[in-house]
Amino acid sequence: MLSKGLIKLVNSLKHKKYRQQHGLFVAEGHKMIGDLIKIGSPIKTIISAQNINMNGAFEFVQCKSGELDKISSLKTSQDMIALVKIPEYQYKEEAILDKLSLALDSVQDPGNMGTIIRIANWFGINNILCSFDCVDIYNPKVVQASMGALMKVKVHYLDLCKTIEQLAKNTGYEIYGTFMETDSIYELELLPRGLIVMGSEGHGISTKIEKLITKKIAIPSFAAEFGGAESLNVAVATGIIVSEFARQKQELRN
């Protein structure tokens, strides 16, 4: 049976303030938790109604059937909940030099954030720079959408404007910004060294960040013939753009 203290702790972790205070976040479901263990994530506690057979240096708490409903963040609670230690790392300019990185300006939808972290992981992008108003990556919905990729990619919350300014000044980095209508990614030369800035779906890249963009890029639309298309989902747009950078990098090598 779950203690009142544990129930209170797990429920408090639905809020960013308490996640930061305890240095913990929640992951749910044996698939997700198994993946986290496989990649060596620092797990503190696993809670499940079934006696589990998983190796690792964590505390196991067996609860009663149905008790997970009291602490789950999901509509349909899974078979297992883990408390995972939030990894600590800091943004260092040196770490992103000569690499391609992503910057997110006010991306607030948790599903999109999780999906973008998966994209970064897939394409070997190690660092994502986020404006302070982006959704917290340890939000339960981001955790579920990121499928474990959030332990492999470093996501930094920082003053995005100031960071980009310094980066451009110190390194001569190309700052790519994604807009609706401008030069096509298929026709531009995209270098495997730089920063790709993605804006929010509702408002795009903010005016003060737009001023720092050194190369504007767009995904061309082919929809004109039947009434035009409004927009692409921001995670899909990120995937398409990052893929085109990867393709051009590979073409350069060959």
Task: Map residues 124-163 to x or -, x wherever contact with its own copies holds by CB under 8 A.
Answer: x-x------------------x-xxx--x-----------
Structure tokens at 232: 């692409």
118 versus 156: smaller Cβ distance to its own copies: 118
The residue within the footprint of its own copies, chosen from 6, 35, 179, 188 (CB under 8 A), is 35
Shortest Å distance, C-beta 26 to its own copies = 19
Distance in Å, CB of 98 to its own copies, minimum: 14
Q: Rounded to the nearest whole angstrom, what is the least distance from the CB of residue 109 to its own copies in the complex?
A: 10
Give which of 145, 139, 150 is closest to 26, Cα–Cα.
Answer: 139
Distances (CA, A) of 76 to 28, 68, 69, 144, 146: 11, 10, 8, 13, 18
Q: Work out whether 123 is an interface residue with its own copies (CB under 8 A).
A: yes
Q: What sign has the CA pseudo-torsion 207, 213, 216, 217?
A: negative
- The answer to whether 39 contacts its own copies (rule: CB under 8 A) is yes
Q: Is residue 189 close enough to count as binding its own copies by CB under 8 A? A: no
Instruction: Say whether residue 240 binds its own copies (CB under 8 A).
Output: yes
Give 33 or 212: the residue with its C-beta nearer to its own copies.
Answer: 33
CA–CA gap between residue 233 and residue 224 (Å, rounded): 18
Residues, the chain, total?
254
Positions of E strands within 77-126: 80-85, 100-104
Considering beta carbons, is residue 47 or 218 the nearer one to its own copies? 218
Q: Applying CB under 8 A, does 86 fall inside the site for its own copies?
A: no
56: region left, alpha or beta (phi > 0 left; psi from -120 to 50 alpha) = left
**Dist. CA 85–CA 41, nearest whole Å:** 8
Q: Kindly state whether residue 49 participates in binding its own copies, applying the rule CB under 8 A.
A: no
Q: Is residue 121 close enough to count as binding its own copies by CB under 8 A?
A: yes
Q: d(Cα 79, Cα 67) in Å, to the nearest integer? A: 10
Candidate residues 10, 36, 96, 119; the one interacting with its own copies per rule CB under 8 A: 119
Among 248, 252, 239, 249, residue whose Cα is nearest residue 102: 239
Q: How far is the CB of 235 from its own copies (least distance, A)?
A: 6
What's the angle, vertex CA 121, arms to CA 127 and CA 242, rounded to 5? 80
Nearer to its own copies, 17 or 75 (CB): 75
- Residues lying near its own copies in the complex (CB under 8 A): 35, 39, 111, 115, 118-119, 121-124, 126, 145, 147-149, 152, 186, 219-223, 225-227, 229-233, 235-240, 243-244, 246-247, 250-251
